[in-house]
Structure 1
Amino acid sequence: MKKLYLTCCRVGVLMGAIASLSFANIAMAEGAIKLCTGSEGGAYHFAGERIAEKAKNIDIELVVDTGGTMANIELALDGDCDAFIGQQDGISKLKRSDKNAAFKLKRVALLHKEYAHFICNKESGIDAITDIEGNAEYSIDLISDSSGGAVTWANFVAEDDGYAAVKKVYSEDAYTAASNVASGETTCMLLVSGIGSGAIGEIDTDMGSDLILANATDKDFNDALDTKGKPLYEFDEISKTYEVNLQTGFWASVETVSMRAAVYINKTKIKGKDLKQFIRAVNKAKDVIRSEFDR
């Protein structure tokens, strides 16, 4: 099916971006299911492409560079996207603040696993996320306030308010965040992504000698529940993945939490035959997506 790729700016200037779209693009998009994904080359974008390839009798338009899970949620609620790919803990965060809004969104499939990558300055002495709990002297870079890391951090704080003491900072991209951690400007960073992320691979190669991939588990995280009342996070492991610097010798394996990314729809936007065809496309693409990122 024909696909139209749009690039959205961050949510704060979203309306201006939409207004600037050409008439031709708007006309081409008419009737298509708009699927919010993520940055080009990332796991969500890859997943969106595979879903669009499997679509029959419907057009799926990929919306990219949205800014993260919470931005995708906002775009879906505002009607600028009909469906989106995102972290499950984003819905949990939304439900705490607006149950009615969360009710408008429906999960239709689970995709690949995503892992919390907790990366700290090697000289900081931190080798586990529990080391920074309750300490205002430490800082954590979440990249942006709508990023996957910010979503997961908010859920960590909801389960253990001791983490609220840690100073939150934002660097807008993972590479800059890692550079600030490597230089000691920031203590740690949190990046949630599929295993073997290209962004983390680049960080591993370029500055991993000054960083440590630390454990990201806390017994309180086990209490986090999804919207169905089931455990939100799985206690998991990242083993021998970033082998240039981050996972060599003693640090070859770290404990962390993982969850599966999911596809959601706005229940008011996709219905009937279109919904059936969309769900069919997602399920036909699901195994390919999982095989790319699951380990």
Structure 2
Amino acid sequence: MRSLLLVSAALLASCAAQAAEPPAFRLCTGSEAGHYFRAGHLLKSKASSVQLEVIPTQGSLDNLDKIVAGQCDGAFVQADALLVYSARNAQALSTLERAGVLYQEQAHLLCNRQAGIKRVVDLTKATTVAVGPDGSGGRTTWDAFVLADKTRYAPIQIDTRSGVRALSAVADGSQVQCMLWVGALNASFIKGDAQAQGDRIVLAGTDDRDMTTTAKDARGQPVYTYGEIPAGTYPRIQPAGLVYGTKALGTIAVDALFVTGLAWVTAHERAYDGLLRAFAAAKPQIQSLVQPQ
């Protein structure tokens, strides 16, 4: 009898321990060298209601694929990735919930100085733009531009090079004249790598204002807003001002979003409340990470 009581007590203790254990939450982010991955670890440091695993991935579209496939429970994605993804798998968006906004990212168009391109609307079918591989931030935004305005952007040639390799190709200018890079202001890639090529590369405006009205998500809401890169942000690659210094550049901006899978949310509503509180607590650190003062 005593043995039976001991076994029962052990089982009850085991069940209680299991009940108290927070559920797992797999967060898809991006490259281990990128802001999404680092932001994921900041969220993890604040999250106590879940056992959060930060998973590196190939980018926003890969993240959405993994949520739909049940390989991740949430992700950080560009807002325009939802637009591009809906064109491929519209029903999948009904399985996602927008949990919040991390920060805004800017579309940076870097061009060879000799190409004479001052704004994104100056691109022609004779221009080749490096946008990165499928699923990357630049490629996702470019695909969204094409979806919103096929007449203007579909004829332009694209190249899958990215990062420093794409910068080198733009600096040379013979095969690739521009590259599209999407990220927060003051990111190390632009402040460091791009400015190091400042004698041959210049920033062009991405202020195609039509994008703020024609590119809309599944709810009919604009995907992009109109913003600017302030004068002096990147002194070596911004166009010169009328009198001195550099001038501000108009840009298209897109939100970086935290999205979750509805299946996980429905199964763990109380833990999800805690995760949302953790996200709110981590957000100031995340924003200072991508926009250092």
User: Do 1:141 and 1:186's aligned partners in 2 also have CA atoms closer than 8 Å?
Assistant: yes
Q: 1:116 aligns with which of 107, 111, 119?
A: 107
Q: 1:157 aligns with which of 146, 162, 179?
A: 146
Q: What amino acid is the match of 1:269?
A: W
Q: What amino acid is the match of 2:177?
A: T
Aligned partner of 1:9 in structure 2 is none
Q: 2:262 aligns with which of 260, 267, 285?
A: 267
Aligned partner of 2:290 in structure 1 is 293
TM-score (norm 2): 0.84
CA distance in 2, matches of 1:287, 1:92: 27
Matched, 1:215 2:219: no
CA distance in 1, matches of 2:29, 2:64: 11
Q: What amino acid is the match of 1:242?
A: Y
What CA deviation, in whole Å up to 9, does each residue of 1:135-176 have, x standing for no partner?
3211111111111111111111122112100111111x3111
CA distance in 2, matches of 1:87, 1:227: 14
How much has 1:209 moved relative to structure 2? 1.5
- Which has more radius of gyration? 2
Structure 1 range deviating more: 190-199 or 220-229: 220-229
User: Structure 2, unaligned stretches of length 5 or more?
Assistant: 1-21
Instruction: Calculate the aligned-residue CA RMSD, in Å.
Output: 1.8
Aligned partner of 2:81 in structure 1 is 90
CA distance in 1, matches of 2:171, 2:54: 35
CA distance in 1, matches of 2:49, 2:134: 37
CA distance in 1, matches of 2:220, 2:45: 33
SS of 1:182's partner is helix
Q: What amino acid is the match of 1:280?
A: R
Q: 1:101 aligns with which of 92, 98, 105?
A: 92
Aligned partner of 1:18 in structure 2 is none
Distance 1:92 1:78, change over 3 A: same
SS of 2:264's partner is coil
How much has 1:248 moved relative to structure 2? 6.0
User: Do 1:113 and 1:293's aligned partners in 2 also have CA atoms closer than 8 Å?
Assistant: no
Aligned partner of 1:145 in structure 2 is 134
Q: What amino acid is the match of 1:222?
A: T
CA distance in 1, matches of 2:180, 2:171: 14
TM-score (norm 1): 0.83
What CA deviation, in whole Å up to 9, does each residue of 1:198-222 have, x standing for no partner?
1122223321221110010113212
User: Do 2:102 and 2:287's aligned partners in 1 also have CA atoms closer than 8 Å?
Assistant: yes
How much has 1:229 moved relative to structure 2? 2.1
Q: Which runs of 4+ in 1 moved over 4 A?
A: none
Aligned partner of 2:188 in structure 1 is 198
SS of 1:209's partner is coil
CA distance in 1, matches of 2:139, 2:126: 19
SS of 1:143's partner is coil
Structure 1 range deviating more: 225-234 or 139-148: 225-234
User: Structure 1, unaligned stretches of length 5 or more?
Assistant: 1-29
